[in-house]
Amino acid sequence: MKSILFLVLITLSSCDKPITIISTVKQRIIPGFKNAKPYINYHLEIKVNKTNTIHLDSVHVFDNQKCYTIKPLVKAKKGEPSIKNSIQKGIYTVDVRLKGNTIISMNNCKFTDKKVILYFNEESKKGNIVITKFTNKTIRKR
């Protein structure tokens, strides 16, 4: 009985949050070309709990004493990529690539902890989610 009550309370408390993190994977992508350099991609799966439109502004990545501001690539679980990063109720994947034109800025910083901060706007409210735990995975592309 106590466990059922506990699960109900967790479910109700998670409904207050506009975004819930389902999974987080730090991928090391190794391209299939000889001269191409490997790069890091943070693959996040999120669930939007509210029907309001939420806009994902940017993502800050702190990795290897570098601070990155990244433009996230958002895609519905079953659908096309979101051009404006405006999302509504549903499940989405967010790719944060430390490569090429997705990097808005990069600076040296003193943070040694690896973390990702996802910034979003819900109507006129600003919010963020801090992610510190990731599953590591290496992907070789051909």
pLDDT in tens, 27-84: 999 988 888 889 999 999 999 988 888 999 889 998 877 888 988 888 887 766 666 7
How many whole angstroms separate alpha carbon 43 and alpha carbon 122?
22
**Each residue's pLDDT tens digit, 58-68:** 899 988 778 88
Residue 15's pLDDT band, with cuts at 50, 70 and 90, is low
- Residue 37 near residue 14 (C-beta atoms within 8 A): no
Q: What is this structure's pTM? A: 0.80
Domains of the chain by range and CATH? 18-140 (2.60.40)
Instruction: Tell whether the torsion through CA atoms of 75, 79, 84 and 87 is positive or negative.
Output: negative
How many whole angstroms separate alpha carbon 95 and alpha carbon 26?
10
DSSP code string of 95-138: EEESSGGGEEEEEE----S-EEEEEEEETTEEEEEEE---EEEE
